[in-house]
């Protein structure tokens, strides 16, 4: 028997940087073994497939969609992607994630295909997809997003007096462009060990004196967890911001970034491809990192998204076709038309979903449902906040 609303049982990811309490406190997700719970995944990515609750038990969301892709995904998604094209997460960062970048789609496809032909080599990518991301803050959410403008980078590094970077800093002043920024970043990543250690000591000893409160706070927080890591220089060349609850930002593939602390909803293309640049004990593939990264400044004033808001609905426009993202707050009997596969997640409070056939779903915070494209028209009431992801 087909349904309009399918409750989901989702996968918790226990990464070392995760919070031991946030998912339980906010969303009642059990943590009996007191593990760091970093992410809750909702979707069909092979690394964490959601289960669907039915009358006769559960099946995977992948299996449900495969029963009738046109009905489940809708003709547009079925034709363009052939599968659910997005992955929805709740992210709970106690310590910083690695500084990272995600590849463009063409690059991911080329490298993944090359890996398939050489299975004995350690893989760089887990799939052949790009990974544009939207982050919607649920708590104050500290993050680094994109390169600062070159003048700020020069101003931040000059007090450190690092001999190996002197000429590159001069070039950033004389000719601030992608080529000089790329050359500077490569030199930072390849700093000789003795220069790196001396500069890191000066950075930590003088952070409060040399830099504003926001920048110093980022530097010193990272130092708590990664005292000797090259990534401690990242706040000097990346934009540092703290999203307030309800604020969102978008990250295009190729954007160097890191999530530092806080709880957020994250939606992305269905990919788990990551190239790291610091704040990690894992491998840094510098060649692939340089090939993936876009060396253009991202201006701080442009980082926070401006939603289109009307009567309790907030739509966040994004420049990709993999997903759309809406947030609803305190609405009653709002008409919604489903034309593609959707996942709805309650952020706080309680929601009632109602279909004209009489089927309903009642959800509280942390609970989610899959809504097939064939569901069509339905109504939403929520006391609190809910997010809706669709194609």
The residues near 237 (Cβ < 8 Å, ≥ 6 apart) are 147, 148, 153, 156, 157, 184, 185, 188
Catalytic residues: 276
> Beta-strand (E) ranges in the chain?
6-9, 11-13, 39-42, 51-54, 57-60, 86-93, 99-101, 133-137, 141-147, 238-243, 248-251, 257-269, 275-278, 308-310, 313-315, 324-338, 342-354, 360-364, 368-371, 376-390
What angle, 0 to 180 degrees and rounded to 10, lies between the N-to-C axes of helices 150-157 and 178-189? 30
| Torsional class of 144: left (φ above 0), alpha (ψ -120 to 50), beta (otherwise) | beta
Q: In angstroms, rounded to a whole number, what is the distance separating the alpha carbons of residues 251 and 300?
A: 13
User: 42 CB contacts (<8 Å, ≥6 apart)?
Assistant: 8, 10, 50, 87, 88, 89, 343, 345, 368
C-alpha 19/C-alpha 36 separation (Å) is 5
| Contact yes or no for 351/302 (Cβ under 8 A) | no
Q: Tokens 């830099």 correspond to what residue?
A: 211
CA distances from 261 to 28, 97, 245, 371 (A): 20, 8, 13, 31
Residue 94, classed as helix, strand or coil, is: coil
Distances in Å between the Cα of 9 and the Cα atoms of 49, 53, 157, 359 are: 9, 7, 47, 20
Query: Is residue 271 helix, strand or coil?
Result: coil
Which residue has tokens 């350690």?
122
What's the CA dihedral at 336, 338, 343, 349 to 10 degrees? 10
How far is residue 6 CA from its own chain's centroid? 25
Supply 253's token pair: 């593939």
């Amino acid at each position: 028997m087909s349904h309009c609303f399918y409750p989901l049982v989702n996968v918790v990811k226990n990464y070392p940087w995760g919070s031991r309490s946030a998912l339980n406190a906010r969303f009642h997700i059990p943590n009996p073994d007191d593990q760091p719970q970093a992410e809750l995944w909702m979707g069909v990515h092979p690394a964490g497939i959601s289960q669907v609750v039915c009358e006769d038990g559960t099946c995977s969301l992948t299996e449900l969609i495969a029963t009738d892709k046109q009905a489940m995904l809708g003709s547009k998604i079925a034709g363009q992607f052939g599968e659910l094209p997005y992955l929805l997460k709740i992210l709970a960062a106690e310590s910083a994630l690695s500084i990272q970048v995600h590849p463009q789609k063409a690059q991911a496809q080329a490298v993944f295909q090359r890996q398939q032909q050489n299975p004995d080599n350690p893989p760089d990518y887990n799939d052949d997809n790009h990974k544009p991301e939207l982050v919607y803050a649920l708590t104050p959410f500290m993050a680094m997003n994109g390169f600062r403008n070159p003048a700020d980078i020069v101003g931040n590094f000059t007090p450190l007096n690092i001999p190996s970077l002197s000429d590159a800093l001069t070039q950033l002043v004389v000719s601030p462009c992608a080529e000089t920024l790329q050359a500077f970043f490569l030199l930072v990543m390849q700093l000789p060990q003795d220069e790196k250690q001396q500069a890191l000591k000066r950075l930590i000893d003088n952070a409060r004196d040399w830099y504003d409160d926001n920048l110093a706070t980022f530097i010193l927080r990272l130092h708590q967890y990664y005292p000797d890591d090259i990534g401690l220089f990242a706040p000097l060349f990346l934009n540092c911001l703290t999203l307030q609850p309800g604020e969102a930002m978008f990250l295009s593939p190729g954007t160097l970034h890191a999530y530092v602390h806080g709880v957020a909803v994250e939606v992305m293309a269905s990919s788990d491809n990551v190239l790291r640049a610091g704040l990690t004990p894992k491998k840094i593939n510098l060649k692939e990192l340089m090939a993936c990264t876009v060396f253009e400044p991202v201006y701080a004033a442009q980082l926070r998204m401006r939603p289109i808001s009307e009567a309790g609905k907030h739509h966040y426009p994004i420049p990709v076709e993999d997903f759309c993202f809406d947030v609803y707050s305190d609405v009653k009997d709002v008409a919604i038309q489903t034309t593609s596969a959707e996942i709805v997640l309650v952020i706080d409070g309680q929601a009632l979903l109602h279909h004209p056939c009489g089927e309903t779903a009642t959800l509280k915070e942390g609970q989610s449902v899959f809504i097939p494209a064939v569901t069509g028209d339905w109504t939403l009431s929520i006391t609190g906040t809910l997010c809706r992801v669709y194609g």
